[in-house]
Structure 1
Amino acid sequence: MKKLGCLLAAVILAGLAILGWFGWGWWGSSEVEEEVAFIVPSGSSVTSVAQKLEEEDLIASADAFLLRAKILGSSDPIKAGEFLLPAGASGAKILGTFQHGDVIRRFVTIPEGTPSAIVHDILMAEELLVGEIPVPEEGSVLPESYDFERGEDRVTVLARMQRAMDEVIAELWPNRTQRTVVDTPEEAVILASIVEKETGVPEERRMVAGLYSNRIRQDIMLQADPTIIYPITGGRPLGRRIRQSEIQAINDYNTYSMVGLPRGPITNPGKESIAAVLDPEDTDAVYMVADGSGGHEFNSTLQGHNEAVERWFALRRERGEM
């Protein structure tokens, strides 16, 4: 009887030891020595993920992981994406991360006023994206920061950028005021692209929009320098001063040789520039010139404008720029 009791106690202790070992292998032990990113491919099963974890030396055994996951883990489905596994992550922590953790989101930023040729360059230079894209239609992309997942297709990210522009136009267009001179959303984007390129001062956008709106109403040429450059470079920097022959060039963009809007946008305008042309400043200004501080001086008369130009030239001579 005493021997039977000792045997029973030994069996219980052995069982407890096995259970402890089994549980420790799930909740306690870890092969993850330092924080690491792990990708769960789309359509993966727990089995395929366990094999991938073993191949990357993040678990000791795929079979042991699967057995413990089946008995001790949740039956919730795993998600595809890139996950961050912390140093010391146990099997339970790893499975929980794939089931309920946040996918790592990365960001690509398109600054306001970025032309489509450079949008293309930015997306193609992002090494964590895949696939090819054409240069998007000018004015179709909303400048903003966009999140993406490692391995996401560039076509998908670009479509998200273009959908965002469509949504902004749909949001802003119904709220346009009577001061706007644009008759269609397409014209709004064209004029907004000029405003975007003509001022780097956010507070000036509505004023610049008001000035150009006045010129359109009065059939005065817009004379916006960026419209000279666009057909030459396709939106890329010119890298030199504009030539007199280029100022006089006749084409569908150069607003020094035509009245009204160019045939299309010259860049991708931001939301605030679009809002500015739909609600321009109530002003009588039709002239502007740089004021030396990054902004502009606005005038309603040619005499006032010429005086402002002289002040600008004097400042440039003082700076040694002329």
Structure 2
Amino acid sequence: MWRSLASNAMTILIVLGLAGAFAVHWGKSQFLAQGPLQEAICFQVPQGANIRGVADQLEERGAISSARIFRLGAEYNDRSHLLKAGSFLIPEGTPMVGVVAIVTEAGRSTCGTEINYRIGITIAEAIVRELDPTTNRYEEIVKFEAGAEEIPQEYLDARDEADVRFRVTLAEGVTSWHVVDGLRKADFLSGEIAEVPPEGTLAPDSYEVTRDSKRSELLAEMTRRQGVILSDLWAERAADLPIDTPEEALILASIVEKETGIAAERPEVASVFINRLNQGMRLQTDPTVIYGITNGEGTLGRGLRRSELDRPTEFNTYQIDGLPPTPIANPGRDAIAAALNPAEGDYLYFVADGTGGHAFSRTLDEHNANVAKWRQIEAERANQ
């Protein structure tokens, strides 16, 4: 009898063991299998959330097939205590193991609302946009000029969301004064700015920041990035350039940046100035004259006068030899690269061609003919 009972007990234990092993195997396969989402979603993890609540919400939204398996998988992988607050994009078909990674490893939101604060050549503007998870594209909600008397409610609502992301973007060719002025108007940043950084030392780029990030620390990061860019490109510069220091390269790059907004033209524009420097010709570029008038603060808002072109200043390249004493803006990486590796050729002149680009020429006669064409285009536009 006891032998029979022992045999039955052993059988039960084996069955239970097999059932347990099957359950573990099945649970693991479910944890690793393709998820049930038919289209991507933006999922929010609230501050202070726990793994049980998150698992239940994910199951309710159809992102996972089992809250229990999700929770057990997260606990088994020692990630249940690593939840990050924020809004996260969960692509269609993401397996539970992938969802665990998304909500515990990202650290920063990957979807939801973003405020992109753009500092441009003339104005700074705040843009509130939201990621559409089904298209993975941002949809603009509202845009307004920084410092406006009336601030849109959509911006105020977005700014105060717990998981909103902030980004500061600098346009290529923006002056340091404009950067500081724009940052001072950004109400989601904190701290004072002691002084305007030297012209040209800030990298035009996109910077992800957090609410109450210090303005001084952001400027330090902009300076650091520009230093790295300049150092890297200086090491790869062409031979025999009429430029002796990285600082001079930055000056020339800023002029190239202000002369053309077309990326493909930058090496050609740079070559004109390099050729002029090599031949001892004056650079004769309007943007330097304008900088001498405005000091990079605000915009001129009109054309240059003959008297201003004739007035000797340290920035008037119609009157001085060589480069001006400082950059006239903050050039981007491509403009610096163009200044240090200009196109090959013997162009000495360029003028607008009416398409947004420029017509280049080797001789003064060719240049004068191109200028005449441009003036005719200007006259025709004025009469339209």
Q: TM-score, normalised by structure 1?
A: 0.70
1:179 touches 1:280 (CA, 8 Å); kept in 2? no
1:266 is aligned to 328
1:204 is aligned to 265
Q: 1:216 aligns with which of 259, 262, 277?
A: 277
2:178 is aligned to 118
Alignment of 1:1-322 (within 5 A): 83-84=85-86, 102-104=107-109, 105-133=165-193, 134-178=195-239, 180-235=241-296, 236-320=298-382
Q: What's the RMSD between the two structures over aligned residues?
A: 2.7
Q: Using a 3 Å threshold, how does the CA distance of structure 1 residues 106 and 285 change in structure 2: closer, same or farther?
A: same
- 1:119 is paired with a residue whose SS is helix
Deviation at 1:189, TM superposition (A): 0.2
Q: TM-score, normalised by structure 2?
A: 0.59
User: CA–CA distance in 2 between the matches of 1:278 and 1:259?
Assistant: 20
Q: Using a 3 Å threshold, how does the CA distance of structure 1 residues 168 and 74 change in structure 2: closer, same or farther?
A: closer
Structure (1/2) with the larger strand percentage: 2
Q: Using a 3 Å threshold, how does the CA distance of structure 1 residues 75 and 202 change in structure 2: closer, same or farther?
A: closer
Cα displacement string for residues 212-268 of structure 1 (whole angstroms, at most 9, x for unaligned residues): 001111111101101111121122310011111211121211101101000000000
Structure (1/2) with the larger helix percentage: 1
1:222 touches 1:256 (CA, 8 Å); kept in 2? yes
Structure 2, gaps ≥5 residues long = 1-42, 49-74, 89-100, 110-164
User: CA–CA distance in 1 between the matches of 2:371 and 2:87?
Assistant: 61
Deviation at 1:289, TM superposition (A): 0.8
Tell me the number of residue pairs that the alignment of Structure 1 and Structure 2 aligns: 246
- 1:297 is paired with a residue whose SS is strand
1:46 is aligned to none
2:275 touches 2:346 (CA, 8 Å); kept in 1? yes
Higher relative contact order (CA 8 A, sep 6+): 1
User: CA–CA distance in 1 between the matches of 2:242 and 2:46?
Assistant: 52
User: CA–CA distance in 1 between the matches of 2:251 and 2:46?
Assistant: 43
2:10 is aligned to none
Q: Using a 3 Å threshold, how does the CA distance of structure 1 residues 78 and 251 change in structure 2: closer, same or farther?
A: farther
Greater CA drift, 291-300 or 245-254: 245-254
Aligned amino acid, residue 307 of structure 1:
A
Greater CA drift, 127-136 or 299-308: 127-136
